[in-house]
Chain A
Amino acid sequence: MKTKQNIIVQFLLSIVVLISASSLLSAQGKYIDKKGEIVFEASEALFEPVKATNESVTVILNTETSEIASLALMKGFRFKNSLMEEHFNENYIESETYPKATFKGKLLDFNFSEITENNTEVTVDGKIELRGKEKEIRTTLNIKKSGDLIIIQGSFKVTPADFDIEIPSIVKNKIAKEIMVLLDFKLNKK
C-alpha cells in the first residue's frame, strides 16, 4: 500500500517538474522591446519633410519559434510640424477609429545560436495590419547581439494605397508615392 502511494506521489511530482521545466523553456526564448523605434518618411525634395518617429513601439520575438510580433500606437508618431501630426491622425490614419498598427510574422531560416555581434541578414515574412487592411510584407532585417540585447534593424516600403489611404490632389506632389519605414529595435530577455 505504501509503495503504491509512493509511486503516485512520485508520479505527481515528476509531472509538476515536467510542467515547470517546459514553461521555463518557453519563457526562455522570449525577447521584448517596449521602446522600439519606427520612423517613416514620405518626403519629396523641395517640400517640407514628411517624417514622423514613434519611440514607444512594442516588439516581441520568440527565438524558439522565430515568431515576431510588433505593435505601434498611431498617436505615438510624433512629427516636427504639429499641424502635419494633426492631419496624419485626423485625415489620413483616422487614429480614433484605427488607433494601432500591428505586425505579425516569422523570421525565415532563423537560428538564434548563429546570431553574433556582427549583423546577420534574416528575411522576415508577415502581415501588417493598419486601418483594418492587411498587407503582406517580406523584407531583410539585420540582426545582431550586443551584450544581453538583440538588435534588429531594417526597412521596407509601403504605399498609402496599400491601406486605402487617399491623398488629396492638393498635397499629392508633396507626399512621396512610396513611404519608407525604418525600424530599430533593442530587445531584452524577458
Chain B
Amino acid sequence: MKKKKVIILGVIVLAILAAGFVYDYTFNSKHRDIANEEATIVLSANELFSDFQNDESSATTKYLDKVIAIEGEITAVEINDIILNNQIQASFNVEQLLKVEEGTSLTIKGRCVGYDELLEMVKIDQATIINKF
C-alpha cells in the first residue's frame, strides 16, 4: 500500500518536472548568441556579394542564417551599421557608436539575413568586429 503511494507521488513529481521543462522550452528558449558562435564560413566581402549576384537562390541556401566571417574595407559608418566595400551592410546588436573609420580594413562576424536587391547589398545582423588590420 505504502509502495503504491510512493509510486504515485513519484509519477506526479515527474509529470510536474516534465511540464516545467516543456513550458520552459516553449516560452523561454534562448535566442542564438551569434557573437559567441563560431563562424562556419570565412570569406571576403567581394566573394559573398558576387555569390549573391550570380545566383541568389543558391547563395541563399549556402549562407542564409549562417554565422559568417567577412573581410572587407569600411566604405561607410552609420548609426549601428557599417558598410563593407559598398556591398555588405552589417548591423550591430546594441545601439552604439562604432569606433571605426572609413577606409579601415577589418573582419566582422555576423548572421547572414539575405540579399537586398533594392540596395544591392547583402545584409548581416548581430555583427561583431573580430579584428582590425
**Across the interface, which residues of A come within 8 angstroms of B80, CB to CB?**
35
User: With the chains together, A55 CA to B126 CA distance in Å?
Assistant: 12
The answer to whether A75 and B25 touch across the interface, beta carbons within 8 angstroms, is no
Asked if B60 is at the interface (CB within 8 A of a chain A CB), the reply is yes
The answer to whether A82 and B123 touch across the interface, beta carbons within 8 angstroms, is no
User: With the chains together, A70 CA to B119 CA distance in Å?
Assistant: 10
Q: How far is the CB of A56 from chain B (nearest CB, A)?
A: 6
User: With the chains together, A167 CA to B111 CA distance in Å?
Assistant: 28
Option from B29, B81, B115 in Cβ contact (under 8 Å) with A83: B29
Asked if A115 is at the interface (CB within 8 A of a chain B CB), the reply is no
Residues 66-85 of B at the A interface (beta carbon under 8 Å): 78, 80-81
Q: How far is the CB of A93 from chain B (nearest CB, A)?
A: 12
The answer to whether A48 and B123 touch across the interface, beta carbons within 8 angstroms, is no
User: With the chains together, A164 CA to B50 CA distance in Å?
Assistant: 32
Option from B64, B119, B125 in Cβ contact (under 8 Å) with A99: B64
The answer to whether A75 and B113 touch across the interface, beta carbons within 8 angstroms, is yes
The answer to whether A76 and B64 touch across the interface, beta carbons within 8 angstroms, is no
Asked if B87 is at the interface (CB within 8 A of a chain A CB), the reply is no
Option from B26, B29, B64, B117 in Cβ contact (under 8 Å) with A96: B64
Residue total for A at the interface (Cβ-Cβ under 8 A):
24
Q: How far is the CB of A158 from chain B (nearest CB, A)?
A: 21
Chain B interface: which size bin? 20 to 34
Q: How far is the CB of A31 from chain B (nearest CB, A)?
A: 13
- Prevailing SS type, chain B contact patch: mixed
**Across the interface, which residues of B come within 8 angstroms of A124, CB to CB?**
none
Asked if B32 is at the interface (CB within 8 A of a chain A CB), the reply is yes
**Across the interface, which residues of B come within 8 angstroms of A73, CB to CB?**
113-114, 116, 123
The answer to whether B117 and A82 touch across the interface, beta carbons within 8 angstroms, is no
The answer to whether A34 and B114 touch across the interface, beta carbons within 8 angstroms, is no
Asked if A71 is at the interface (CB within 8 A of a chain B CB), the reply is yes
Q: How far is the CB of A180 from chain B (nearest CB, A)?
A: 22
The answer to whether A75 and B81 touch across the interface, beta carbons within 8 angstroms, is no
Residues of chain B touching chain A, judged by Cβ–Cβ distance below 8 Å, are 25-27, 29-32, 60-61, 64-65, 78, 80-81, 89, 91, 111, 113-119, 123, 125
7 nearest A-B pairs in the assembled complex, by CB-CB distance? A73-B114, A99-B114, A82-B31, A75-B113, A58-B118, A71-B118, A73-B113
Apart from A48-B27, A56-B89, A56-B123, 15 more pairs, CB < 8 Å: A56-B91, A56-B113, A71-B119, A73-B114, A73-B116, A76-B113, A76-B125, A81-B27, A81-B29, A82-B30, A82-B32, A89-B65, A95-B64, A99-B60, A100-B114
